[in-house]
Amino acid sequence: MGTESKRQQRFAGVIQQDLAELFQRDGKAWAPGAFITVTRVRVTPDLAIARVYLSFLNTKTAKDDIANIKTKTNEIRYKLGAKIKNQVRVVPQLEFFLDDTNEYVEHMDKLFDEISKEDRQPD
C-alpha cells in the first residue's frame, strides 16, 4: 500500500475529528460504559471508503462493542454526513475496525517482564 496523498490525509483528519465528537456525544448508546477513541482513519484514494480504527477503554467487551457499532454504520454515516455535508461531495462508506494496539503493547510488556525475571544462564 502506497503513501497517502495530502488530500487523503486532510480528508481523513476531518473525518477523524468529526467522528470523535460523534462518539463522544452518542457513543454511550452504541457501547455502554466504554470510552471510545478514534485512533486512526485511512481513506481510499477516491475518498469513497474510510477505514476507521477504534480503541475501547473501560470495557472487557470490545469485540462485542465493535460488532454493535458495525450494525449502526448507516446511522453513524448519516450523522457524519450531516456534519460534513458542506465540506465534501460524497460522504464516504465507513468501515470500522478494532485497534488493538494497546492490548498488543501490554502483551509485549508482559513478555519482556517475564524474560527479564528469568535467571540468566552463563554463555
Q: Per the domain annotation, does 122 fall within a domain?
A: no
Q: Is residue 25 part of a domain?
A: yes
Are the C-beta atoms of 84 and 21 separated by less than 8 Å? Answer: no
Residue 123 domain-assigned (yes or no)? no
Q: Where are the alpha helices (DSSP H) in 31-95?
A: 62-71, 73-84
Task: Tell me, yes or no, whether 106 lies in a domain.
Answer: yes
Structural domain boundaries, residue 15: 6-117
C-alpha cell at 15: 473525518
**Which regions of 1-123 does DSSP assign to beta strands (E)?**
35-43, 49-57, 93-98
Number of domains in the chain: 1
In a domain, 105, yes or no: yes
Please give the chain's pLDDT, 123 residues, in tens. 567 789 899 999 999 999 999 988 888 888 887 888 899 999 999 999 999 999 888 777 888 888 888 999 999 999 999 998 888 888 999 999 988 776 677 778 888 888 887 766 655
pLDDT reported for residue 107? 75
Does residue 68 lie in a domain region? Answer: yes
Asked if the structure places residue 1 within a domain, the reply is no
Structure confidence at residue 77 (pLDDT) = 93
The enclosing domain of 68 has a CATH number of 3.30.300.20
